[in-house]
Amino acid sequence: MSEPNSPGESRRGAPRFFVGCEDDESEVLEDSMRTDMELYEDDEDTDSPPERQIMVGICCMMKKSKSKPMTQILERLCRFEYITVVIFPEDVILNEPVDKWPLCDCLISFHSKGFPLDKAVSYAKLRNPLLINDLNMQYYIQDRREVYRILQEEGIDLPRYAVLNRDPDKPDECNLVEGEDHVEVNGEIFQKPFVEKPVCAEDHNVYIYYPTSAGGGSQRLFRKIGSRSSVYSPESSVRKTGSYIYEEFMPTDGTDVKVYTVGPDYAHAEARKSPALDGKVERDSEGKEVRYPVMLSAMEKLVARKVCLAFKQTVCGFDLLRANGHSYVCDVNGFSFVKNSMKYYDDCAKILGNIVMRELAPQFQIPWSIPTEAEDIPIVPTTSGTMMELRCVIAVIRHGDRTPKQKMKMEVRNPMFFDLFEKYGGYKTGKLKLKKPKQLQEVLDITRQLLAELGQHNDCEIEEKKSKLEQLKTVLEMYGHFSGINRKVQLTYLPHGQPKTSSEEEGMSI
Ligand SMILES: Nc1ncnc2c1ncn2[C@@H]1O[C@H](COP(=O)(O)OP(=O)(O)O)[C@@H](O)[C@H]1O
Ligand SMILES: [Mg+2]
3-state SS, one letter per residue, for 396-424: CCCCCCCCCCCCCEECCCCHHHHHHHHHC
**Residue 499: exposure state from Cβ atoms within 10 A (0-12, 13-18, ≥19):** middle
DSSP 8-state code for residue 213 = G
Q: CA 245, CA 24: separation in Å to the nearest integer?
A: 46
- Pick the residue whose CA is nearest to atom 27 on ligand 1: 274
Q: How far is the CA of 451 from the centre of ligand 1 (A)?
A: 86
Domains 160-249 and 252-336 fall in the same CATH topology: yes
**Residue 169: exposure state from Cβ atoms within 10 A (0-12, 13-18, ≥19):** exposed
What's the sign of the alpha-carbon dihedral 317, 57, 129, 347? negative
pTM: 0.71
- Pick the residue whose CA is nearest to atom 22 on ligand 1: 204
* Distances, alpha carbon 232 to alpha carbons 210, 228, 235, in Å: 10, 11, 9
Q: How far is the CA of 188 from the centre of ligand 1 (A)?
A: 20
Best mutation site among 151, 160, 222, 331 for ligand 1, i.e. most ligand atoms within 8 A of its Cβ?
A: 331
* Distances, alpha carbon 229 to alpha carbons 201, 275, 281, 310, 506, in Å: 16, 5, 6, 30, 86
Q: How far is the CA of 249 from the centre of ligand 1 (A)?
A: 9
Instruction: State the ligand closest to the CA atom of 318.
Output: 2
Query: Residue 276 CA: which ligand 1 atom is closest?
Result: 27
- Pick the residue whose CA is nearest to atom 2 on ligand 1: 249
Look up residue 32 and give its amino acid.
S
Q: Which residues make beta-bridge pairs with 258?
A: 270, 319
For ligand 1, which residues put their CB under 6 angstroms from it?
Answer: 159, 195, 197, 201, 204, 206, 221, 247, 249-250, 256, 274-276, 319, 321, 330-331
Query: Residue 204 CA: which ligand 1 atom is closest?
Result: 22
Query: Residue 159 CA: which ligand 1 atom is closest?
Result: 1
For residue 31, the model assigns a pLDDT of 34
The enclosing H or E element of 37 equals: helix 27-45
Instruction: State the ligand closest to the CA atom of 330.
Output: 1
- Determine the 3-state secondary structure of 83 from DSSP: strand
Nearest residue to 225 via CA among 267, 184, 294, 275: 275
The enclosing H or E element of 57 equals: strand 54-59
CATH fold of 51-131+341-367: Rossmann fold (3.40.50)
Best mutation site among 256, 282, 326, 333 for ligand 1, i.e. most ligand atoms within 8 A of its Cβ?
A: 256
Q: How far is the CA of 335 from the centre of ligand 1 (A)?
A: 18
Q: How far is the CA of 490 from the centre of ligand 1 (A)?
A: 75
- Buried b / exposed e over 191-219, threshold 16 CB at 10 Å, is ebbbbbbbbebeeebbbbbbbeeeebebb
Q: How far is the CA of 217 from the centre of ligand 1 (A)?
A: 18
The Cβ of residue 39 has, within 10 Å, a number of other Cβ atoms equal to 13
Q: How far is the CA of 186 from the centre of ligand 1 (A)?
A: 22
Query: Residue 319 CA: which ligand 1 atom is closest?
Result: 18
Instruction: State the ligand closest to the CA atom of 275.
Output: 1
Nearest residue to 336 via CA among 252, 256, 267, 280: 267
- Determine the 3-state secondary structure of 262 from DSSP: strand
Q: CA 119, CA 98: separation in Å to the nearest integer?
A: 7
Secondary structure of 116-163 in the HEC alphabet?
CHHHHHHHHHHHCCEECECCCHHHHHCEHHHHHHHHHHCCCCCCCEEE
Q: CA 327, CA 156: separation in Å to the nearest integer?
A: 9
Peptide bond into 129 cis (omega under 30): no
Q: How far is the CA of 72 from the centre of ligand 2 (A)?
A: 24
- Cβ-contact 21, 92 below 8 angstroms: yes
Within 8 A by CB and 6+ apart from 418, the residues are none
Longest alpha-carbon distance in the chain: 122
Query: Residue 205 CA: which ligand 1 atom is closest?
Result: 22
Which residues in 428-500 belong to E strands, given as ranges?
A: 431-434, 489-492
**Residue 169: CA atoms inside 13 Å, Cβ hemisphere, count?**
0
Domain ranges of the chain: 51-131+341-367, 160-249, 252-336, 415-457+464-492
CATH fold of 252-336: D-amino Acid Aminotransferase; Chain A, domain 1 (3.30.470)
Measured in residues, the chain has a length of: 510
Q: How far is the CA of 206 from the centre of ligand 1 (A)?
A: 7
Question: Could you tell me which CATH number the domain at 160-249 has?
Answer: 3.30.470.20
Within 8 A by CB and 6+ apart from 7, the residues are 371, 375
Q: What is the helix, strand, coil percentage profile of the chain, to 5?
A: 30, 25, 45
Query: Residue 161 CA: which ligand 1 atom is closest?
Result: 1
Q: How far is the CA of 448 from the centre of ligand 1 (A)?
A: 82
User: What is the pLDDT tens value at each position of the chain, 510 positions in all?
Assistant: 333 444 444 444 444 555 654 444 333 333 333 223 333 334 444 455 556 899 999 999 999 999 999 999 999 999 999 999 999 999 999 999 999 999 999 999 999 999 999 999 999 999 999 999 999 999 999 999 999 999 999 999 999 999 999 999 999 999 999 999 999 999 999 999 999 999 999 999 999 999 999 999 999 999 999 999 999 999 999 999 999 999 999 999 999 999 999 999 999 999 999 999 999 999 999 999 999 999 999 999 999 999 999 999 999 999 999 999 999 999 999 999 999 999 999 999 999 999 999 999 999 999 998 887 666 677 777 888 888 888 889 999 998 888 888 888 988 989 999 999 999 999 999 999 999 999 999 999 999 999 998 887 665 556 678 889 999 999 999 988 888 678 899 999 998 876 555 444 334 544
For residue 495, the model assigns a pLDDT of 83
- Pick the residue whose CA is nearest to atom 21 on ligand 1: 204
**Residue 103: exposure state from Cβ atoms within 10 A (0-12, 13-18, ≥19):** exposed
